[in-house]
Amino acid sequence: MTYRVWGRPRLERRSYTAPFIASIVLALTLGFAAAAHAAPSSDWSYRVRPKDNIWDLATRYLKPDVSWQKLQDYNHVADPLHLPPGMTIHIPIAWLRLEPAKAKVVAVIGEATARLPDNATPVPVKAGMSFGYGASLSTGNDTSLTLEFADGSRVLVQANSELALDRLSAYGDTGMVDTRLRLQRGRVNSDVHPLTGSAARFSVSTPGTISSVRGTHFRVVADPAAGGARTEVTGGKVDVGGGQRHVLVQSGRGVATSEGAAPGQPQDLLPAPAVACPTGPVNQFPFELHWPAQAGAEHYRLQLAPNDKFEALLLDRVVSTSTATLPDLPDGTYAVRVRGIGAGGLEGLDGVCPTVSIDGTPQPPLIVSPQPNGKVRDKRPEFRWTESVQAVSYQWQLASDPDFAQVLAEQPSARGDGTRAPQALPLGRYYWRVASRDNSGKVGPYTHALPFDLVEEPPVPVPGEPKRSHGDLVLSWPGGTPGQRYHVQLARDPQFAKPEVDATVDQPELDLKKLKSGKWYVRVQTIDVDGYAGPWSPAQKTRISCVSCRWAIAGGGAALLWLAL
């Protein structure tokens, strides 16, 4: 007796004898025991779903030159038309269809370029672009970008780095990928999804090491200048090889490797710093972020990003103390993370502030008078400030206490560059502050509470007693942390195209001699102890009258301008 099994038109017709049919029945009786053999390590396993059949699986996963019959024979499938759901099909890795994959640019801040295999001219890197194997990406100063790979894994490429995409492949629809990156210099931070299948691979190599993972979070640094590389594991584990030696680095540990040498022994990373995250909106700048000093930390790395995914960095700085100043940022929500840097350069775990809210605009104007802790003799004091280019009006308050629990007077919409107390005040200590209002009606943060003392008029000088002037104009502003310097510019135009005064001072004060009369614009920039120059303050303007000039030349005294930054 002869039995025939008919498939789709592309299937060849086969004839089977009764003894062979008996073997099929036996296999079914044993629950396809022959197909349940242990898969070799080079196989990929697929669990059969309802309505699957052998030729559909072959079309979906196999190379064109591998027939469905080979897959049937390899798995001892008796009936190619019907596969029982839950059955495991084993496919040798060498049979799987291998296709090129792409790396997509998720986010980029700054100027990055890419060199493509078929184009010697670098192209600018923009968010949304995709690159295949053979491309090489470079980042400049203050530049970072995130690449997303075929399996959803991501790599943050930091400033001054060069990363080559050596291999980007996907095994058809299996979910297995082969991603191999080569870091020539710089830093990358990898977030790798758990890899499934024996052929799945993710690795980052440097000139002296290769770090391979199957799903973890780790950082790799290639430092050609120092002749070495570092791998820091923050989750999972990483195999680090070099110099014919491999070490397994567990989460919370790192390893440093010198050029041409084998990896050393893994070391514990510094724990995450306990960063004092701001509990409310930040509205006064400069704002200092603090954390307890860590034993064994020689420096700290501070990173600022638009969100807690840290896909691109707005700030990436190394500081030597357990405090750092945040830059003057546009209103919005940001994320901050800090980690300690130990001996040998290994960087520790991150202390994260996932949500830092900035609400600092429009910034308050710069203060002219009264200056903090100054003396005022007019019973109805005048309060003056510079006119901020961000403001259309100002909100002014006067109080008898620094918390403004007892507000004595206020003007919600003061115009111009000042106002006056509405009534005579008794002698004593007072506090005042002012905030800017922009053209949308939004009121920004107040200045700090500015104290002054209302005192009696001094006695009239004895005729002929000499008077001394220390300068025509003294600019001063609240001091920052010890060691900071200040860059001051004065110009006739708000763009500061040709500043007539351009000075850097060690103290929060600048004494200007014989400043010409007329309208002036002024701005100040803080230079941190590590040389980092912060953003300029908003342009402020003031006017030096000819009367003031003549008065200053006559030795009448010094005019004092207080800058509230």
Kindly state whether residues 305 and 328 are assigned to the same domain. Answer: yes
- Report whether 356 contacts 330 (CB < 8 A): no
CATH number of the domain residue 336 falls in:
2.60.40
- Do the beta carbons of residue 233 and residue 217 sit within 8 Å? yes
* DSSP secondary structure of 410-425: EEEEE-TTEEE-SS--
Domain span holding position 165: 99-268
Judge if 88 and 234 occupy the same domain. no
Contacts of 121 (CB under 8 A, 6+ apart): none
In terms of phi and psi (left: phi > 0; alpha: psi -120 to 50; beta: otherwise), the region of 292 is beta
Spatial CB neighbours of 526, under 8 Å, sequence gap ≥ 6: 286, 325, 480, 484, 485, 486, 487, 533, 534, 565
- The pLDDT of 189-205, averaged and rounded, is 88
Res. 360 pLDDT band, cuts 50 70 90:
confident
Mean local confidence (pLDDT), 372-392: 90
Mean pLDDT across 193-202: 83
275 within some domain: no
* Domain shared by 253 and 186, yes or no: yes
Flag whether 519 is in a domain.
yes
User: How many domains is the chain partitioned into structurally?
Assistant: 5
User: Is residue 113 located within the same domain as residue 204?
Assistant: yes
Tell me: pLDDT of 277 over 70. yes
Within a domain: 110: yes
Distances (CA, A) of 90 to 50, 61, 96, 362: 17, 11, 11, 65
Say whether pLDDT at 61 is over 60: yes
Q: What's the CATH code of the domain at 189?
A: 2.60.120.1440
Please report whether residue 278 resides in a domain. Answer: no
- Only one residue has tokens 């509205």, namely 283
Q: Helix, strand, coil % (nearest 5) of the chain?
A: 10, 45, 50
Residue 442, classed as helix, strand or coil, is coil
Report the Cα 478 to chain-centroid distance in Å. Answer: 29
Q: Do 240 and 318 fall into the same domain?
A: no
* 119 vs 70, more confident: 70
Residue 75 lies in a domain: yes
pLDDT over 90 for what percent of the chain? 54
* 371 DSSP β-pair partners: none
Q: Is residue 277 part of a domain?
A: no
Residue 273 in domain? no
Domain end, chosen from 419, 454, 489, is at 454
- Which has more confidence, 484 or 223? 223
pLDDT of residue 4: 29
Q: What is the pLDDT of residues 11-60, one digit of tens each?
A: 333 444 444 433 433 333 333 333 334 445 578 888 999 988 998 899 88
Q: CA 175, CA 268: separation in Å to the nearest integer? A: 34
Q: What is the mean pLDDT of the chain?
A: 83
Letter for the amino acid at 216? T
Give the SS3 label for residue 22. helix
What one-letter code names the amino acid at 449? Answer: A
The pLDDT-based confidence of 457 (bands split at 50, 70, 90) is: low
If asked whether residues 195 and 309 sit together in one domain, one would say no
Are 127 and 78 within one domain? no
pTM equals: 0.67
Is 496 within a domain? yes
